[in-house]
Chains A and B, each alone.
Chain A
Amino acid sequence: MWSRVGGWRGAAGAPGRLAAGLLAGAASGRGAARLEGTAHRVQKLSSTSSALAAEKDEPAAPKPGTGKVASEGKEDKAETPKQKLLDLIGDMKVEMSYSKKLQQLKTRETKKQGTDGGDGEGAVPQRAAEGLQRGKPLNPELVEAASAVASSLPLDKKQTESELLAQLRRHEEITDKQRRGTAVDLRKVLAEMAVKRRSPAQRGVSISNRISLDLDEDPQSKPGRLVPQSLVSGRSLKVGRRLNIFTKASAAAQKALETVSPPTIWDLEFAKEIAAVTAQPPRNGFEEMIQWTKEGILWEFPVDNEAGMEEDAEFHEHIFLEKHLEGFPQQGPIRHFMELVICGLSKNPFLTVKQKIEHIEWFHNYFEEKKEFLQGS
């Protein structure tokens, strides 16, 4: 496929020439006839991105890379002008630093063409002739000469600029036509069908059409050159358009959506079903023990003496109970008695911490109540 394009491109740098001829009304020959079919489309495309492309096409056109040209042709067909624009902008970025130089380079070019325009193809209007002159071979010279011109032509900026723009616009049309030309050549059979592929809604005109087109259609959505494999298979997960139905909800909105409602029987059963997908019988004794542990049948590892203890209380709270004796006298028989009490309590595994404290408090209240008797005695 590409080699054919290459042939086209290489043949006497012809497409540009042909396109120009077509514009001038001197349509003749095979190539021109081919172009005719899509002429209106070319116009449309070129007009959408004229200003941007004007800047960009200057260096792009001379690039002899046929693969790139061809794939761009594809883009056109894929109806993603946006994509194309992005590409153009991408290219522009690189050339931004050159923009000054370019301007001057173009001025020089205009001058040259102005002189050229007079001779040769007299019947052809000058505009087209100018376009014609802008072949590939010119460019190295122009680049070379650019700096020289830059110094010599700083005056009359406005006029130069408008001239330049007009010129570039024309130039852009031509290059675009060249691209179209190759693209049409590639897929003149499919052209009609591809044009119909405008909106997803219209896509389904005929299934059979689509199926037959499948291989050609999808890589268009993005330049196939990025993933060579996709060229072979025709499809790839990495590239391509999206459905463009949904928009991503913001995090806040998503949170708002997750309002808690009690789980319905649907939710419960779905959870079970999901759990069943990865449920596996244990593969060894340890896994079986894990399962038993989860079911609560087995001792929990590491085995210690805290099984069945209250969740919140820790070991030391059971044992060290002196801190609860603060309300008691520091010495004397009551203190002695209470120390014995806590000693007993700390050895008792059957009471909870709370019960132990309550026990101590009971004695506290008791001795408080009996305080007068005790002091009286």
Chain B
Amino acid sequence: MAARLAGGGWRRALLLRRPCCLAGGRRCSSSSAALGKTVATSEVAPEEIVLPRKKTWDKLAVLQTLASTVRRDPTAAHYMFQDDPFLMPRNTASSRLFALSKESGRNAARYIIQHFPQYFDKTFAEPNVPCLMPETRTPQIEGVSEEALKEHICLRRVKESVDLFDQLVQAGTPVSLETTNSLLDLLCFYGDGESTLGKEEEEKEDSEEAEGNASEQKAPKRQLQRGSQPAGTRWRENNSAERIFKIMPERNAHSYCTMIRGMVKHGAPAKAYDMYMDLLNERHKADVHTFNALIAAVPRLKDRFLERWELAKVFLNHMVQQGVQPNLLTFNALLKTLRRCGGVGRSMSLLVIKEMEALDIEPSLATYDHLLAVFYRGGQLPSSGIICEVLDDVEHRSFAAQDPDDANFFTNAMQVCCELKDIKLAYRLNKAMEKGDNWRFLDMDRLNTYWSKFFSLLCMMEQIDVVLQWYKEMSPSLFYPSAKNILDLLQALDAANHLDMLPSVWEDMKQLGFSRRPELLDELLSLMSRDQHPQEIQLAFATCAEDIRAAHEPAGRDQAPLQWTGSSLGHVALLFSRAGRTQDAWSMMERFQQINRIPSEQVMDEFLTCAKQSNSPDEAVKLVKLAASLGLPSSHRLKSRTKKEFELSEEQREALESITDGDSSDSDQE
């Protein structure tokens, strides 16, 4: 990088230039015919050399073109995991973990750079790469002055700014309204970390700063932050923001507005409402953001649906009175409020949509999301009319993010499709999702939810080969199926009579880490053992059964073995005996006695058949013994079958007789 400014290119250019120089400013004649022509024409006005304008390239054009040629590899995990094959995720949990680790590694590096800038003082790169260098985050202006306060606010040092402000006030220096307002902005945005929270506040702030710098931001981190946000910062009585607001010599609309927004953001809606009343009393006008915040706070202000709607309407009417033009976020906030207004929401939301249309405000995905939630949340589902119309609109647009709630649309819409059990709608929705940059709205968690819902719906409604095609297409590269998805897939395979696919599904289950889920194992085993299949398939099934048996054995590792149930034991024994693996089957049969379970009659019969096929009368005798010791009613029948079907040696015959006798004598004794 140090040698970026290569001299080579320059020199080459100069060599090209040389003939011109030697010609002393006159045009040099060229040997080529094409150039000769231009010389001839330019002889009329020979002075000016017209140099072609430099062609400016978009610095990303080449890369974008190249990137557009790369398609998703359905067999590979996401690109971000491809650094290290060992860290290739196999299921949702591990993919989440790895993504988080990668991102937190980045954050750690950033933290080090920001906190120990003294070790990063060498600029190797020429030209410099600013984003790799530490930022100056220490205030440059010393002393107590308004300038210093401004700088502190700019650097978002919450607590120090408040201290500085107090010092200024105590010294009797007037602080301008503008500066005080920006201090209020800072305090209200961060919910005014109290002194104990000061440090924490700063750290969080740091990480947020860092995020802003990185153009890429990972989904999981976002989720975590969102989760952590409301914990630390609640609006407190008489916090610094309120205190400063009270001692302000004069306040303008902005002071009130930022207070209201802060109160709404940090969970003090009632206070925000009072503050709004104060603002009205002072004859100020609120701005559109404040109204948006107030409308969003309505569900927390009123309890009854109707009151909520009335209050929201009061705010809207105030907007008109104060000459505030609503924006998209106003209507999104209104619809979000209507989500929590029950039936009122259903009748009013359409009016709101029409109002938006009349004002030429184009809905964003959040608008549609709220609309769907209004209509499709709750017990009884109306028909698919609304979602059809929503899709009509969405299909024709490629959306850009305008509202933080935009991200929820696709997942929720897919949920609605699932609830309506409408596969056609789901296909349409998927088309819309793939259009343009719409896919960007699905971060990693939402992507998983979206696809697993879609997949469940496919399993329920589609032909099995279509389902399998989708499964192949999306399984490792787009999402990792959940346990429910696998269950759905098993049921779909069952319904389509495609049970020969089960071994490959079992392979996937092992990959996904579902090999120890009892409900899945039960389903799989019962499907495999239900019917008799051709020998090949039976052998494959037996291999699966072996794996499943292994999961129930003590493996010697830290994992505790699964508990056998009577049915699973029976299924495994059945699978072994059908595959002709008499020894394995017998070891299973012995388990019944160990865990005090009763094998079903079918298991007994099948085992006997198996023993007969492998011509092992010993096993048959053992079976009868087992049946007798368990006191099964079928033991007599088994005994007679054994007698009839096997060529027993004399000892075996004796043993057989003695079993029964012993058994009957046992029972007699009892």
* A residues with CB within 8 A of B: 204, 207, 210-211, 214, 217-218, 229-230, 232-238, 240-249, 253-254, 257, 264-266, 269, 272-291, 293-297, 299-302, 304-305, 307-308, 314-316, 319-320, 322, 343, 346-347, 349
Contact = CB atoms under 8 A, between A and B. Distances in A.
Interface in B28-85: 49, 51, 54, 57, 59-64, 66-67, 70, 72, 78-80
Interface stretch (B338-346, B561-569, B585-593): B338-346
B407 A346 contact: no
B143 to A, nearest CB: 24
A304 B13 CA distance: 12
A235 B352 CA distance: 13
B401 interface: yes
Contacts of A211: 342-343
B389 interface: yes
B423 interface: no
Q: List the 4 closest pairs (A to B, CB-CB), nearest first.
A: A233-B385, A305-B9, A286-B67, A242-B354
B343 A207 contact: yes
A306 to B, nearest CB: 8
A278 B344 contact: no
B53 to A, nearest CB: 8
A297 B129 contact: yes
Nearest to B304: A207
Contact of A284 (B70, B127, B189, B350): B70
Interface string B596-640: 000000000000000000000000000000000000000000000
Contact of A265 (B127, B189, B402): B189
Contacts of B350: 218, 235-237, 240
Given A243-B355, A295-B131, A301-B59, A237 B390 contact: yes
Given A264-B258, A275-B401, A284-B70, A248 B78 contact: no
Interface string B191-210: 00000000000000000100
Contacts of A274: 401-404
Given A266-B258, A347-B11, A245 B78 contact: no
Contact of B355 (A242, A249, A288, A296): A242
B382 interface: yes
A304 to B, nearest CB: 7
Interface stretch (B236-244, B311-319, B456-464): B311-319
A209 to B, nearest CB: 10
Given A276-B211, A293-B60, 6 more contacts: A235-B346, A243-B316, A272-B212, A276-B222, A286-B67, A294-B215
A237 B78 contact: no
B354 A241 contact: yes
B67 A281 contact: no
B354 A243 contact: yes
A307 B352 contact: no
Contact of A295 (B67, B126, B215, B306): B215
B127 to A, nearest CB: 4
Contacts of A319: 13-14, 17
B6 A305 contact: yes
Contacts of B222: 276, 279
Given A214-B346, A236-B385, A207 B306 contact: yes
Interface stretch (B108-116, B435-443, B544-552): B435-443
A243 B443 CA distance: 35
Given A296-B130, A346-B14, A286 B63 contact: yes
Given A245-B316, A276-B217, A282-B80, A287 B404 contact: no
Nearest to A342: B21
B189 A277 contact: no
Contacts of A343: 21
A210 B344 contact: yes
Interface stretch (B356-364, B527-535, B574-582): B356-364
B379 to A, nearest CB: 13
Contacts of B219: 281
Nearest to A297: B129
Q: How large is the interface on B (under 10, 10 to 19, 20 to 34, 35 or more residues)?
A: 35 or more
B57 A302 contact: yes
B131 A264 contact: no
Given A283-B78, A286-B70, A232 B289 contact: no
Given A242-B351, A301-B62, A296 B383 contact: no
A347 B67 contact: no
A257 B325 contact: yes
Nearest to B390: A237
B10 interface: yes
A217 B215 CA distance: 50
Contacts of A265: 156, 182, 185-186, 189
A289 B60 CA distance: 9
Contacts of A287: 63, 67, 79
Contacts of B186: 265
Given A214-B347, A294-B215, A315 B60 contact: no
Contacts of A229: 385, 388
A303 B59 CA distance: 9
B385 A230 contact: yes
B350 to A, nearest CB: 5
B25 interface: yes
B13 A315 contact: yes
Contact of A207 (B126, B182, B305, B385): B305
A229 to B, nearest CB: 5
A237 B353 contact: yes
Given A290-B60, A319-B17, A349 B5 contact: yes
Contact of A308 (B11, B126, B208, B402): B126
Contacts of A294: 60, 215
Contacts of A320: 17, 49, 51
A275 B403 CA distance: 10
A265 B187 CA distance: 10
B218 interface: yes
B227 interface: no
A273 B346 CA distance: 29
A108 B5 CA distance: 100
A232 to B, nearest CB: 6
Contact of A281 (B80, B310, B441): B80
Contacts of B60: 290, 293-294, 301
A230 B78 CA distance: 43
Nearest to B20: A320
A295 B131 CA distance: 6
Contacts of B208: 269, 272
A264 B59 contact: no
Nearest to B261: A266
A104 to B, nearest CB: 44
A251 B390 CA distance: 28
Contacts of A235: 346, 350, 375, 382, 385-386
A218 B62 contact: no
Given A238-B389, A286-B63, A289-B63, A245 B80 contact: no
